[in-house]
Amino acid sequence: MLETERSVPIKIVSVTTMVVNAEMRNWIFVKVMTDQDGLYGWGEASLNWKTRAVASTVEDLAPLLIGRDPRDIEQILRVLNKHSYYRLGIIGATAISGIEHALWDIFGKSLGVPAWRLLGGKVRDRVRVYTHLGMGDMKSVYETFDEGALRDRALAVIDKGYDALKVVFIPYSHYSVSNAARRDVGRRMQVLRDAVGDDVDIMIDFHGRPASQSAALQFIEELVPYRPMFCEEPVQPGDAEALRAITARAACPIAAGERLVGFKEFEPLFRAQAVNIIQPDLNHTGGLLEGKRIAHAAEHAFMGVAPHNPNGPIAGAAALHFDVSTPNFVIQEEMSGAVPWYDDVVSTPMRRIGNAWQVPESPGLGVEINEREAARHPFKQEVMHASGAVLDDGTVVDW
Protein backbone atom coordinates (compact mmCIF):
# COMPACT_ATOMS: atom_id res chain seq x y z
CA MET A 1 0.00 0.00 0.00
CA LEU A 2 1.43 3.34 -1.07
CA GLU A 3 1.02 6.17 1.42
CA THR A 4 2.18 9.73 0.84
CA GLU A 5 2.23 12.25 3.67
CA ARG A 6 -0.10 15.20 3.13
CA SER A 7 2.80 17.60 3.60
CA VAL A 8 4.72 16.11 0.67
CA PRO A 9 4.02 18.08 -2.53
CA ILE A 10 2.73 16.05 -5.46
CA LYS A 11 2.73 17.24 -9.04
CA ILE A 12 1.15 15.91 -12.22
CA VAL A 13 3.80 15.21 -14.85
CA SER A 14 1.82 13.59 -17.67
CA VAL A 15 -1.68 12.70 -18.86
CA THR A 16 -2.08 9.97 -21.48
CA THR A 17 -4.82 7.77 -22.93
CA MET A 18 -5.01 4.12 -23.91
CA VAL A 19 -7.80 2.93 -26.20
CA VAL A 20 -8.95 -0.68 -25.77
CA ASN A 21 -11.42 -2.14 -28.25
CA ALA A 22 -14.00 -4.24 -26.39
CA GLU A 23 -15.53 -5.69 -29.56
CA MET A 24 -18.76 -3.65 -29.70
CA ARG A 25 -17.29 -0.44 -28.29
CA ASN A 26 -13.99 1.21 -27.37
CA TRP A 27 -12.84 1.90 -23.84
CA ILE A 28 -10.74 5.04 -23.34
CA PHE A 29 -8.51 4.74 -20.29
CA VAL A 30 -6.84 7.86 -18.91
CA LYS A 31 -3.59 7.61 -16.97
CA VAL A 32 -2.37 10.53 -14.86
CA MET A 33 1.27 10.24 -13.71
CA THR A 34 2.77 12.15 -10.80
CA ASP A 35 6.33 12.97 -9.77
CA GLN A 36 6.06 10.52 -6.86
CA ASP A 37 7.52 7.11 -7.64
CA GLY A 38 4.71 4.60 -8.21
CA LEU A 39 1.89 7.11 -7.68
CA TYR A 40 -0.47 7.38 -10.63
CA GLY A 41 -4.18 7.17 -11.30
CA TRP A 42 -6.49 5.51 -13.81
CA GLY A 43 -9.74 6.95 -15.12
CA GLU A 44 -12.10 6.23 -17.99
CA ALA A 45 -13.49 8.52 -20.70
CA SER A 46 -15.37 6.12 -23.00
CA LEU A 47 -18.03 7.60 -25.28
CA ASN A 48 -19.89 5.74 -28.03
CA TRP A 49 -18.64 6.57 -31.54
CA LYS A 50 -16.57 9.52 -30.28
CA THR A 51 -13.35 7.70 -29.36
CA ARG A 52 -10.89 9.74 -31.39
CA ALA A 53 -12.53 13.03 -30.45
CA VAL A 54 -12.43 12.28 -26.71
CA ALA A 55 -8.86 10.94 -26.72
CA SER A 56 -7.72 14.07 -28.57
CA THR A 57 -9.60 16.27 -26.12
CA VAL A 58 -7.77 14.68 -23.18
CA GLU A 59 -4.53 15.46 -25.00
CA ASP A 60 -5.67 19.06 -25.57
CA LEU A 61 -6.55 19.49 -21.89
CA ALA A 62 -3.37 17.90 -20.54
CA PRO A 63 -1.24 21.11 -20.53
CA LEU A 64 -3.71 22.65 -18.06
CA LEU A 65 -2.86 19.88 -15.58
CA ILE A 66 0.93 19.65 -15.71
CA GLY A 67 2.55 20.81 -12.49
CA ARG A 68 -0.68 20.88 -10.48
CA ASP A 69 -1.34 18.91 -7.32
CA PRO A 70 -3.73 16.09 -8.32
CA ARG A 71 -5.43 16.23 -4.92
CA ASP A 72 -6.79 19.72 -5.64
CA ILE A 73 -9.67 18.20 -7.55
CA GLU A 74 -12.16 21.07 -7.22
CA GLN A 75 -9.59 23.59 -8.42
CA ILE A 76 -8.50 21.42 -11.33
CA LEU A 77 -12.11 21.00 -12.45
CA ARG A 78 -12.55 24.76 -12.42
CA VAL A 79 -9.43 25.17 -14.54
CA LEU A 80 -10.50 22.51 -17.04
CA ASN A 81 -13.98 23.98 -17.42
CA LYS A 82 -13.19 27.68 -17.28
CA HIS A 83 -9.85 27.89 -19.02
CA SER A 84 -11.11 25.90 -21.98
CA TYR A 85 -12.96 29.15 -22.85
CA TYR A 86 -15.60 27.52 -25.08
CA ARG A 87 -18.29 25.66 -23.17
CA LEU A 88 -17.65 21.92 -23.23
CA GLY A 89 -20.32 19.54 -24.47
CA ILE A 90 -20.48 15.78 -24.07
CA ILE A 91 -17.03 15.21 -25.62
CA GLY A 92 -15.28 17.68 -23.33
CA ALA A 93 -17.24 16.58 -20.27
CA THR A 94 -16.34 12.94 -20.93
CA ALA A 95 -12.66 13.81 -21.25
CA ILE A 96 -12.83 15.73 -17.95
CA SER A 97 -14.68 12.84 -16.28
CA GLY A 98 -11.89 10.41 -17.19
CA ILE A 99 -9.24 12.79 -15.89
CA GLU A 100 -11.20 13.38 -12.68
CA HIS A 101 -11.59 9.65 -12.01
CA ALA A 102 -7.81 9.33 -12.17
CA LEU A 103 -7.39 12.18 -9.67
CA TRP A 104 -9.61 10.42 -7.12
CA ASP A 105 -7.57 7.26 -7.71
CA ILE A 106 -4.37 9.18 -6.93
CA PHE A 107 -5.89 10.93 -3.92
CA GLY A 108 -7.04 7.67 -2.37
CA LYS A 109 -3.73 5.96 -3.04
CA SER A 110 -1.82 8.88 -1.52
CA LEU A 111 -3.67 8.35 1.76
CA GLY A 112 -4.04 4.57 1.57
CA VAL A 113 -7.87 4.73 1.59
CA PRO A 114 -10.60 3.80 -0.91
CA ALA A 115 -12.06 6.70 -2.88
CA TRP A 116 -15.48 6.33 -1.24
CA ARG A 117 -13.93 7.47 2.04
CA LEU A 118 -13.09 10.79 0.38
CA LEU A 119 -16.53 11.11 -1.24
CA GLY A 120 -18.34 11.22 2.11
CA GLY A 121 -17.83 7.78 3.55
CA LYS A 122 -19.90 4.61 3.51
CA VAL A 123 -23.70 4.84 3.66
CA ARG A 124 -24.46 1.20 2.72
CA ASP A 125 -22.94 -2.24 3.07
CA ARG A 126 -23.49 -3.42 -0.52
CA VAL A 127 -24.49 -1.98 -3.89
CA ARG A 128 -27.40 -3.54 -5.76
CA VAL A 129 -26.71 -3.96 -9.49
CA TYR A 130 -28.45 -4.97 -12.69
CA THR A 131 -27.29 -5.90 -16.16
CA HIS A 132 -28.71 -6.24 -19.67
CA LEU A 133 -29.68 -9.14 -21.85
CA GLY A 134 -26.47 -10.73 -23.06
CA MET A 135 -24.59 -9.31 -20.05
CA GLY A 136 -22.56 -6.88 -22.12
CA ASP A 137 -23.08 -8.18 -25.64
CA MET A 138 -24.37 -5.03 -27.36
CA LYS A 139 -26.10 -6.98 -30.13
CA SER A 140 -28.18 -8.81 -27.52
CA VAL A 141 -28.96 -5.54 -25.73
CA TYR A 142 -30.23 -3.62 -28.74
CA GLU A 143 -31.45 -6.28 -31.15
CA THR A 144 -33.48 -8.71 -29.03
CA PHE A 145 -37.09 -8.40 -30.16
CA ASP A 146 -37.90 -12.07 -30.59
CA GLU A 147 -39.94 -13.36 -27.66
CA GLY A 148 -38.09 -16.66 -27.39
CA ALA A 149 -34.71 -14.92 -27.32
CA LEU A 150 -36.00 -12.43 -24.74
CA ARG A 151 -37.06 -15.27 -22.47
CA ASP A 152 -33.85 -17.26 -22.85
CA ARG A 153 -31.53 -14.30 -22.38
CA ALA A 154 -33.46 -13.03 -19.37
CA LEU A 155 -33.25 -16.43 -17.71
CA ALA A 156 -29.50 -16.51 -18.40
CA VAL A 157 -29.14 -13.22 -16.51
CA ILE A 158 -31.10 -14.55 -13.55
CA ASP A 159 -29.03 -17.75 -13.54
CA LYS A 160 -25.96 -15.55 -12.95
CA GLY A 161 -27.42 -14.31 -9.65
CA TYR A 162 -28.98 -10.99 -10.70
CA ASP A 163 -32.48 -10.10 -9.56
CA ALA A 164 -32.90 -7.11 -11.89
CA LEU A 165 -32.39 -6.62 -15.62
CA LYS A 166 -32.92 -4.02 -18.30
CA VAL A 167 -34.33 -4.51 -21.79
CA VAL A 168 -34.47 -2.33 -24.91
CA PHE A 169 -37.43 -3.60 -26.95
CA ILE A 170 -39.44 -0.46 -27.70
CA PRO A 171 -39.72 -0.34 -31.50
CA TYR A 172 -38.27 2.47 -33.58
CA SER A 173 -41.08 4.97 -33.39
CA HIS A 174 -42.40 8.29 -34.61
CA TYR A 175 -45.27 10.51 -33.44
CA SER A 176 -47.99 7.87 -33.41
CA VAL A 177 -48.16 4.22 -32.37
CA SER A 178 -49.94 1.45 -34.24
CA ASN A 179 -52.10 -1.07 -32.42
CA ALA A 180 -49.77 -3.82 -33.60
CA ALA A 181 -46.74 -2.07 -32.10
CA ARG A 182 -48.55 -1.64 -28.80
CA ARG A 183 -49.54 -5.29 -28.71
CA ASP A 184 -45.98 -6.38 -29.51
CA VAL A 185 -44.57 -4.37 -26.58
CA GLY A 186 -47.20 -5.68 -24.17
CA ARG A 187 -46.62 -9.26 -25.27
CA ARG A 188 -42.84 -8.98 -24.90
CA MET A 189 -43.22 -7.64 -21.39
CA GLN A 190 -45.65 -10.40 -20.48
CA VAL A 191 -43.21 -13.03 -21.76
CA LEU A 192 -40.45 -11.53 -19.63
CA ARG A 193 -42.56 -11.29 -16.50
CA ASP A 194 -43.86 -14.84 -16.87
CA ALA A 195 -40.29 -16.08 -17.37
CA VAL A 196 -38.54 -14.38 -14.44
CA GLY A 197 -41.42 -14.19 -11.96
CA ASP A 198 -42.62 -11.40 -9.70
CA ASP A 199 -39.47 -11.05 -7.58
CA VAL A 200 -37.20 -9.87 -10.40
CA ASP A 201 -37.18 -6.19 -11.33
CA ILE A 202 -37.48 -5.31 -15.01
CA MET A 203 -36.48 -1.92 -16.40
CA ILE A 204 -37.46 -0.85 -19.92
CA ASP A 205 -35.17 1.55 -21.75
CA PHE A 206 -37.18 3.52 -24.32
CA HIS A 207 -33.94 5.08 -25.65
CA GLY A 208 -35.92 8.22 -26.44
CA ARG A 209 -37.51 6.46 -29.44
CA PRO A 210 -41.07 7.87 -29.16
CA ALA A 211 -41.27 11.29 -30.82
CA SER A 212 -44.26 12.44 -28.76
CA GLN A 213 -45.62 12.25 -25.24
CA SER A 214 -48.70 10.40 -26.46
CA ALA A 215 -46.64 7.70 -28.18
CA ALA A 216 -44.54 7.18 -25.06
CA LEU A 217 -47.62 6.99 -22.83
CA GLN A 218 -49.28 4.40 -25.08
CA PHE A 219 -46.28 2.11 -24.72
CA ILE A 220 -46.12 2.74 -20.97
CA GLU A 221 -49.79 1.77 -20.68
CA GLU A 222 -48.95 -1.63 -22.17
CA LEU A 223 -46.08 -2.16 -19.73
CA VAL A 224 -47.69 -1.07 -16.47
CA PRO A 225 -49.71 -4.28 -15.81
CA TYR A 226 -46.40 -6.16 -15.57
CA ARG A 227 -44.96 -3.86 -12.90
CA PRO A 228 -41.77 -2.38 -14.37
CA MET A 229 -39.24 -1.00 -11.90
CA PHE A 230 -39.03 2.05 -14.16
CA CYS A 231 -39.39 3.18 -17.76
CA GLU A 232 -36.26 5.00 -18.90
CA GLU A 233 -35.92 7.98 -21.23
CA PRO A 234 -39.45 7.78 -22.71
CA VAL A 235 -38.71 10.79 -24.94
CA GLN A 236 -35.57 12.53 -26.12
CA PRO A 237 -33.59 14.41 -23.42
CA GLY A 238 -33.70 18.14 -22.87
CA ASP A 239 -37.42 18.79 -22.35
CA ALA A 240 -38.20 18.80 -18.64
CA GLU A 241 -41.82 19.79 -19.21
CA ALA A 242 -42.46 16.83 -21.51
CA LEU A 243 -40.95 14.47 -18.96
CA ARG A 244 -43.00 16.07 -16.18
CA ALA A 245 -46.21 15.53 -18.16
CA ILE A 246 -45.35 11.87 -18.80
CA THR A 247 -44.36 11.26 -15.17
CA ALA A 248 -47.62 12.82 -13.96
CA ARG A 249 -49.71 10.45 -16.10
CA ALA A 250 -47.62 7.26 -15.99
CA ALA A 251 -48.62 4.61 -13.49
CA CYS A 252 -45.00 3.54 -12.98
CA PRO A 253 -41.73 5.31 -12.12
CA ILE A 254 -39.99 7.28 -14.87
CA ALA A 255 -36.21 7.65 -15.12
CA ALA A 256 -33.96 9.82 -17.30
CA GLY A 257 -30.66 11.67 -17.41
CA GLU A 258 -27.97 9.55 -19.07
CA ARG A 259 -27.43 12.08 -21.88
CA LEU A 260 -27.41 15.19 -19.69
CA VAL A 261 -24.12 16.96 -18.99
CA GLY A 262 -23.44 18.56 -15.63
CA PHE A 263 -25.64 20.00 -12.91
CA LYS A 264 -27.00 22.79 -15.12
CA GLU A 265 -28.69 20.33 -17.47
CA PHE A 266 -30.17 18.35 -14.57
CA GLU A 267 -31.47 21.38 -12.70
CA PRO A 268 -34.64 21.81 -14.84
CA LEU A 269 -35.64 18.23 -13.98
CA PHE A 270 -35.40 19.00 -10.27
CA ARG A 271 -37.30 22.25 -10.59
CA ALA A 272 -40.12 20.64 -12.60
CA GLN A 273 -40.27 17.43 -10.52
CA ALA A 274 -39.97 15.85 -13.95
CA VAL A 275 -38.88 12.28 -13.10
CA ASN A 276 -38.79 9.84 -10.22
CA ILE A 277 -35.23 8.59 -10.76
CA ILE A 278 -32.27 10.39 -12.31
CA GLN A 279 -29.52 8.58 -14.17
CA PRO A 280 -26.33 10.63 -14.41
CA ASP A 281 -23.51 8.92 -16.27
CA LEU A 282 -20.45 9.55 -14.12
CA ASN A 283 -18.32 8.88 -17.19
CA HIS A 284 -19.97 11.72 -19.13
CA THR A 285 -21.42 14.31 -16.78
CA GLY A 286 -18.15 15.74 -15.44
CA GLY A 287 -17.03 13.10 -12.95
CA LEU A 288 -17.72 12.01 -9.39
CA LEU A 289 -17.76 15.45 -7.77
CA GLU A 290 -20.34 16.74 -10.26
CA GLY A 291 -22.27 13.50 -9.79
CA LYS A 292 -22.41 14.07 -6.05
CA ARG A 293 -23.78 17.59 -6.59
CA ILE A 294 -26.47 16.19 -8.86
CA ALA A 295 -27.34 13.46 -6.36
CA HIS A 296 -27.64 15.94 -3.47
CA ALA A 297 -30.04 18.11 -5.48
CA ALA A 298 -32.03 15.03 -6.50
CA GLU A 299 -32.44 14.03 -2.87
CA HIS A 300 -33.96 17.43 -2.10
CA ALA A 301 -36.32 16.91 -5.06
CA PHE A 302 -37.35 13.48 -3.67
CA MET A 303 -35.64 11.59 -6.50
CA GLY A 304 -33.53 8.47 -6.40
CA VAL A 305 -30.29 8.00 -8.33
CA ALA A 306 -29.58 5.03 -10.61
CA PRO A 307 -26.32 5.86 -12.41
CA HIS A 308 -26.08 4.99 -16.07
CA ASN A 309 -23.04 2.85 -16.92
CA PRO A 310 -22.78 0.60 -19.98
CA ASN A 311 -19.14 1.67 -20.19
CA GLY A 312 -15.89 -0.05 -19.34
CA PRO A 313 -14.31 -1.39 -16.13
CA ILE A 314 -12.85 1.83 -14.70
CA ALA A 315 -16.17 3.64 -15.17
CA GLY A 316 -17.73 0.77 -13.24
CA ALA A 317 -15.21 1.12 -10.43
CA ALA A 318 -15.85 4.88 -10.22
CA ALA A 319 -19.59 4.23 -10.06
CA LEU A 320 -19.08 1.72 -7.24
CA HIS A 321 -17.34 4.30 -5.06
CA PHE A 322 -20.07 6.84 -5.85
CA ASP A 323 -22.81 4.35 -4.94
CA VAL A 324 -21.22 3.35 -1.64
CA SER A 325 -21.22 7.01 -0.55
CA THR A 326 -24.54 8.31 -1.97
CA PRO A 327 -27.63 8.08 0.29
CA ASN A 328 -30.35 8.25 -2.41
CA PHE A 329 -28.71 5.61 -4.62
CA VAL A 330 -31.22 3.02 -5.93
CA ILE A 331 -29.50 0.54 -8.29
CA GLN A 332 -26.40 0.44 -10.51
CA GLU A 333 -26.17 -0.53 -14.17
CA GLU A 334 -23.11 -2.68 -14.90
CA MET A 335 -21.49 -4.76 -17.63
CA SER A 336 -18.57 -6.44 -15.91
CA GLY A 337 -17.10 -9.28 -17.93
CA ALA A 338 -18.41 -7.81 -21.19
CA VAL A 339 -15.58 -9.51 -23.15
CA PRO A 340 -13.93 -12.90 -22.53
CA TRP A 341 -10.52 -11.33 -21.84
CA TYR A 342 -11.89 -8.73 -19.38
CA ASP A 343 -9.92 -10.00 -16.39
CA ASP A 344 -6.70 -10.29 -18.42
CA VAL A 345 -6.70 -6.56 -19.15
CA VAL A 346 -7.96 -5.08 -15.90
CA SER A 347 -8.32 -5.92 -12.22
CA THR A 348 -11.21 -4.10 -10.58
CA PRO A 349 -12.67 -3.80 -7.07
CA MET A 350 -16.11 -4.98 -8.22
CA ARG A 351 -16.83 -8.23 -6.42
CA ARG A 352 -20.40 -9.35 -6.96
CA ILE A 353 -22.18 -11.70 -4.60
CA GLY A 354 -25.63 -12.46 -5.97
CA ASN A 355 -27.31 -9.19 -6.84
CA ALA A 356 -24.81 -6.82 -5.24
CA TRP A 357 -21.30 -5.46 -5.49
CA GLN A 358 -19.41 -5.57 -2.22
CA VAL A 359 -17.78 -2.51 -0.63
CA PRO A 360 -14.09 -2.29 -1.69
CA GLU A 361 -11.26 -1.53 0.73
CA SER A 362 -8.27 -1.16 -1.62
CA PRO A 363 -6.80 2.36 -1.98
CA GLY A 364 -8.09 4.76 -4.64
CA LEU A 365 -10.47 3.27 -7.18
CA GLY A 366 -8.82 -0.12 -6.74
CA VAL A 367 -8.17 -0.55 -10.47
CA GLU A 368 -5.03 -1.75 -12.22
CA ILE A 369 -4.50 -2.09 -15.97
CA ASN A 370 -2.23 -4.66 -17.58
CA GLU A 371 -1.00 -2.33 -20.29
CA ARG A 372 0.69 -5.08 -22.27
CA GLU A 373 -2.54 -7.09 -22.47
CA ALA A 374 -4.57 -3.95 -23.17
CA ALA A 375 -2.32 -3.13 -26.13
CA ARG A 376 -3.42 -6.39 -27.75
CA HIS A 377 -6.87 -4.85 -28.33
CA PRO A 378 -6.24 -1.58 -30.20
CA PHE A 379 -8.83 0.85 -31.50
CA LYS A 380 -11.40 -0.36 -34.00
CA GLN A 381 -14.37 1.48 -35.45
CA GLU A 382 -17.37 0.73 -33.27
CA VAL A 383 -20.52 -0.99 -34.52
CA MET A 384 -23.07 1.65 -35.53
CA HIS A 385 -26.32 0.23 -34.13
CA ALA A 386 -28.20 3.40 -35.09
CA SER A 387 -28.09 2.50 -38.79
CA GLY A 388 -31.25 0.43 -38.30
CA ALA A 389 -33.33 3.31 -36.94
CA VAL A 390 -35.29 3.86 -40.18
CA LEU A 391 -39.02 3.30 -40.65
CA ASP A 392 -40.49 1.30 -43.54
CA ASP A 393 -41.13 4.46 -45.54
CA GLY A 394 -37.52 5.66 -45.18
CA THR A 395 -38.09 8.12 -42.31
CA VAL A 396 -34.99 8.41 -40.11
CA VAL A 397 -35.96 8.23 -36.43
CA ASP A 398 -34.25 8.32 -33.05
CA TRP A 399 -32.13 5.29 -32.18
Q: Does residue 207 carry a catalytic annotation?
A: yes
The one catalytic residue among 101, 132, 207, 377: 207
Amino acid (1-letter code) at residue 157: V
Q: Give whole-number Cα distances, 58 to 27, 63, 94, 110, 144, in Å.
A: 14, 10, 9, 23, 35
Contact yes or no for 65/275 (Cβ under 8 A): no
The one catalytic residue among 284, 308, 321, 385: 308
Contact yes or no for 206/232 (Cβ under 8 A): yes
Contact yes or no for 337/137 (Cβ under 8 A): no
How far apart CA 313 and CA 350 sit, in angstroms, is 9
How far apart CA 261 and CA 246 sit, in angstroms, is 22
- End-to-end, the C-alpha distance of the chain in Å comes to 46
How far apart CA 53 and CA 41 sit, in angstroms, is 22
281, with CB counted inside 10 A (0-12, 13-18, 19+), is: buried
Print burial letters for 222-261: b (CB count within 10 Å at least 16), e (below 16): bbeebebbbbbbbbbbeebebbbbbbeebebbbbbbbbbb
DSSP string, 291-325: HHHHHHHHHHTT-EE-----S-HHHHHHHHHHHHT
Q: Does residue 284 carry a catalytic annotation?
A: no
CA 320 to chain CA centroid, nearest Å:
11
The SS3 assignment for 232 reads: strand
Active site residues: 207, 308
